[in-house]
Chains A and B, each alone.
Chain A
């Protein structure tokens, strides 16, 4: 070894150690960074698909009225036409997929209406609200009101 390097040999070795470290890191990085990272931005492109794989539990009103045409006709044009079926009947994607699999949840006509229509000071004033003290005899609401279209005649 020449004289110039002789007194720096320890530094050369240290530098080599650092270089090995850097190279190792670069190899690790090349191997371990997930595929598709950075395609759309600084994230794994596959994460988009991961967020999409979940199966919906709510089928959506358009799926319901495909079969339930009687209910659709009663519901359309009434005051509850903006209310989705599953708002009262629960999540029914399974039922929409296979009607025999599970039956629609039949809400209790004595209580379900209070979910929305129970009086509350924070509700918009023009929203129809019921104080059970004045307007409730313990019977079912659908005795007088048609749940699918309360402004229409109730079903007898």
Chain B
């Protein structure tokens, strides 16, 4: 049968790019029958806490993310970025900027003591539990994983860009090299190995913290209980799992 031939081509392809044990492991996971023994999807449910009052706009997360995930370094694509808000008293709209996504930090552009409220807001994929983006994918090339990460299947994506339109937060882009969609996958290759995400690892102030909502020992539970928490654009009911502490009402 031709399916055999197809399998052969797939296997041969994998052997070309992967070492034998990696290919065998990949094969096992691909059929959906096996998981890496150390990591059980059913035991985790990932999210993130962002503490707005701790963000200093250093851009470490943006740089780390680009390094870790090989995100196109040239502007203008980001898996994570930082925005600077500047809200003058009584102003209807905030002034917002994000030069190069915060990759090179934020050169001062406001006069000190101008009476306005100013702060940084890190953004990333909200890993929505009811993702508008995965809902619209025509072929199932992006999806919510059982452990709560919104992932992309790069080998299956058509590049139709419907999901980019459907994301209310602007978290998706088309990678010009692969012509498929790309977005924050919560460093899925790290968190499934017991590491934290690259952005959290390199955040100097702990403004962002990876959390496992299914782990009863995760400090997230205390944090969520002890703070006034908000998600972005709650009116859209996306089930966002990036929880912001100290989020100002002016943030979009």
* A124 at the binding interface (Cβ < 8 Å): yes
Docked CA distance A86–B195 (Å): 14
Q: Are B118 and A44 in contact (CB under 8 A)?
A: no
Binds B, one of A3-11, A70-78, A114-122: A114-122
- Give per-residue flags for B103-115: 1 if the beta carbon is below 8 A from chain A beta carbons, else 0: 0011010111010
* B22 at the binding interface (Cβ < 8 Å): yes
Docked CA distance A28–B201 (Å): 46
Docked CA distance A84–B41 (Å): 27
Task: Looking at the assembled complex, report how far the CB atom of B109 sits from the nearest CB atom of chain A, in whole angstroms.
Answer: 9
Q: Are B206 and A82 in contact (CB under 8 A)?
A: yes
Q: Which residues 79-137 in A have Cβ within 8 Å of B in the complex?
A: 80, 82-84, 86-87, 90-91, 115-116, 118-124, 127
- Give per-residue flags for A34-68: 1 if the beta carbon is below 8 A from chain B beta carbons, else 0: 11110111111111111111111110110000000
Docked CA distance A115–B156 (Å): 40
Interface size class of A (residues with CB under 8 A): 35 or more
* B181 at the binding interface (Cβ < 8 Å): no
Say yes or no: A120-B106 contact (C-beta < 8 A), given A47-B156, A56-B190, A84-B201: yes
How many contacts between A and B, using CB within 8 angstroms?
170
Q: Are B153 and A43 in contact (CB under 8 A)?
A: yes
Q: Are B140 and A48 in contact (CB under 8 A)?
A: no
Task: Looking at the assembled complex, report how far the CB atom of A138 sits from the nearest CB atom of chain B, in whole angstroms.
Answer: 20
Q: Are B120 and A123 in contact (CB under 8 A)?
A: yes
Option from B6, B189, B205 in Cβ contact (under 8 Å) with A56: B189
Docked CA distance A86–B199 (Å): 11
Q: Are B140 and A60 in contact (CB under 8 A)?
A: no
Q: Are A48 and B145 in contact (CB under 8 A)?
A: yes
- Give per-residue flags for B121-148: 1 if the beta carbon is below 8 A from chain A beta carbons, else 0: 0000000000000000000111111100
Q: Are B60 and A60 in contact (CB under 8 A)?
A: no
Hey, which chain A residues are within 8 Å of B204, CB to CB?
80, 82-84, 87, 116
Task: Looking at the assembled complex, report how far the CB atom of A141 sits from the nearest CB atom of chain B, in whole angstroms.
Answer: 15
Q: Are B108 and A58 in contact (CB under 8 A)?
A: no
**A/B interface sample: 16 pairs, CB < 8 A:** A32-B6, A40-B146, A44-B155, A45-B32, A46-B29, A49-B25, A49-B29, A49-B30, A50-B155, A51-B151, A52-B189, A82-B205, A86-B202, A87-B201, A91-B198, A121-B116
Q: A52-B192, A91-B68, A91-B198 are in contact. List 6 more A-B contacts (CB 8 A).
A: A41-B143, A41-B144, A45-B29, A49-B26, A115-B60, A116-B205
Residues of B near any A CB (own CB < 8 A)? 1-3, 6-7, 18, 22, 25-26, 29-32, 36, 41, 53-60, 64, 67-69, 84-86, 105-106, 108, 110-112, 114, 116, 118-120, 140-146, 149, 151-156, 185, 187-190, 192-193, 195-196, 198, 201-206
Closest 10 CB pairs of A and B: A39-B32, A46-B30, A45-B32, A47-B153, A49-B29, A43-B143, A54-B189, A122-B118, A42-B140, A51-B188
